[in-house]
Structure 1
Amino acid sequence: MDKATTYDDALGDLFAKNAETSPHNAYTDRPAMLKLAGDVSGARILDVGCGAGHYAAELSARGAQVVGVEGSATLLRHARARLNGDAELLLHDLEEPLDFAADASFDGVVCALVFHHVRNRARLLDELRRVLRPGGWLLISVTHPTADWHHFGGSYFSHDWSDLAVADGKFSIHYQRMPLETFLGELLAAGFVLEKLIEPRPTAGLREIDEARYDKLHRAPSFLAVKLQRP
């Protein structure tokens, strides 16, 4: 991944802190993805773009053997502190082949809110299919295309690389917009079978601390999440 899409330095520190308790990460995407994963006890799982290790920590606590890969040295430092040796964590550019992993060596793959940052998504999907065992599952979440359309305007069908301002404009997150047909089309073209698609809403816990944000995220989708199977 190029520098523009990697959460390094101060942006990485900010993301690691916000992901701990933010309405979008802690109360919306992460609970939805973990629910899609289901029972992971004894499973070997690859966490692609593991960020600050929040998903890996949850999966490990539920009995999974986790290997996390991350392109940001800053985020990987946070992940190592959070996991404290409970997962294997590797610095790896997702634009490159997953040459550290053998064929059919994982039962599941989690790719949370990173897919839209990758330029060579076709190669990444080919690699994920290669390292998954037959019958293994792939979880992917992305920014919801209608949320992007609402925020950036223009055409819903835009494939523009865009910059989303965060922290009152101090930083920006660089990623590619894509309509639903592109997102699903790429996954199906890579040979995966769609099992379930959801538009995550925040859990009830958010209502207790921020009722306005809870109501807003129940009216307009922020993320899209899918579970697929490798035949």
Structure 2
Amino acid sequence: MPPEESTVVNDYDRLADTYTVRSDTEIQNAYYERPAVLALAGDVAGRRILDAGCGAGPLTVSLRERGAEVSGFDLSSSMLEIARRRLGPDVDLRVADVAEPLPYADNAFDDVVASLVLHYLEDWGPALGEFHRVLKPGGRLIVVVDHPFAIHLSQRQAGHQTDYPATYQWTEDWEAGGRALPMSFWNRPLHAMTDAFTAAGFRISAISEPKPVPEAEKLFPEDYRMLCVSPSFLFFVLHAG
């Protein structure tokens, strides 16, 4: 759907319980996205990490279990309530908007993880600028977004006349409590992503298109085969200049 036609508000407060179950158990997040992020992060023991758009906190939990000092923020207070139950009162979790100035000091973190967050934004510039600000010099930003060509193909197959080189908004319905809730995202080509990273002062260290972890093959054989030949996410490791 073109941006001028969209009135969608992504309501994660209403989706919190449903989305948490999906994220904890289904292949896309539990056996594909999070394992790949953790593999790219490597040894995080002793590192201070900000989980941007942490949601219910599954990645935050995994990073802390590996020895990181974690903080997280999300726009949804309902998602953060779940995260607080998982992480306890000693973890710094805040309600904040990735599109606005962040409530953290300059040079506060060794790493920022922004997994499946930036695709909610039309303009990446302010968010990337804030990530750069809160990172220590040379700090890492790990980003996961919808794979732009996968979205392009799905939109064309659905009958939408999208162009891969364009940046455009698209929507789909998610189910919660027996009701369909419209969700809205922005798709942009790879070169627009890399241009935005460079403009914000980041150096690209890695671009990854990993497969799901092997144990997913028995649990989700059809989805596993699909993701092995047609990745749905794109992963970046960036360093602050």
Q: TM-score when scaled to structure 2?
A: 0.90
Residue type of the alignment partner of 1:81: R
Contact kept in structure 1, 2:75 and 2:96, CA below 8 Å: yes
Note if 1:50 corresponds to 2:92. Answer: no
**Pair 1:163-2:171 in alignment:** yes
Q: Is residue 84 of structure 2 the alignment partner of residue 105 of structure 1?
A: no
Q: What's 1:175 paired with?
A: 185
Query: What amino acid maps onto 2:236 in structure 1?
Result: V
Q: CA deviation at 1:5?
A: 5.2
Question: What's 1:145 paired with?
Answer: 148
Distance 2:181 2:166 in 1: 23
Q: Could you say what the CA RMSD is over the residues aligned between the two structures, in angstroms?
A: 1.7
Counting only pairs closer than 5 Å after superposition, residues 216-231 of structure 1 correspond to structure 2 as: 216-231=226-241
Q: Name the CA distance, whole Å, in 2 between partners of 1:226 and 1:62.
A: 21
Given candidates 222, 225, 230, the residue that maps to 1:212 is 222
Cα distance change on mapping 1:50 and 1:4 into 2, 3 Å: farther
**AA aligned opposite 1:223:** F
Contact 1:20/1:26, CA 8 A, preserved across alignment? yes
Q: Which residue pairs with 1:82 in the alignment?
A: 86
Describe the superposition over 1:36-72 as per-residue Cα deviations: whole angstroms up to 9, x where unpaired. Answer: 1111100111111001101100001111111101001
Give the counterpart of 2:34 among 8, 30, 33. Answer: 30
1: CA distance, partners of 2:83 / 2:122: 24
Q: 1:60 is matched with which residue: 49, 60, 64? A: 64
Aligned length: 228
Q: Secondary structure of the equivalent of 1:139? A: strand
Structure 1 CA distance for aligned equivalents of residues 11 and 85 of structure 2: 17
Q: Percent identity?
A: 36
TM-score for the superposition, normalised by structure 1: 0.93
Query: Which residue of 2 is the match for residue 128 of structure 1?
Result: 131
Q: Secondary structure at the match of 1:221?
A: coil
Alignment match of 1:197 (pick from 172, 197, 207): 207
Higher mean displacement: 34-43 or 86-95? 86-95
Deviation, 1:204, is: 0.7
Contact preservation (8 Å) 1:7, 1:74? no
Question: In 2, distance between residues paired with 1:97 and 1:220?
Answer: 35
Residue matched to 2:3? none
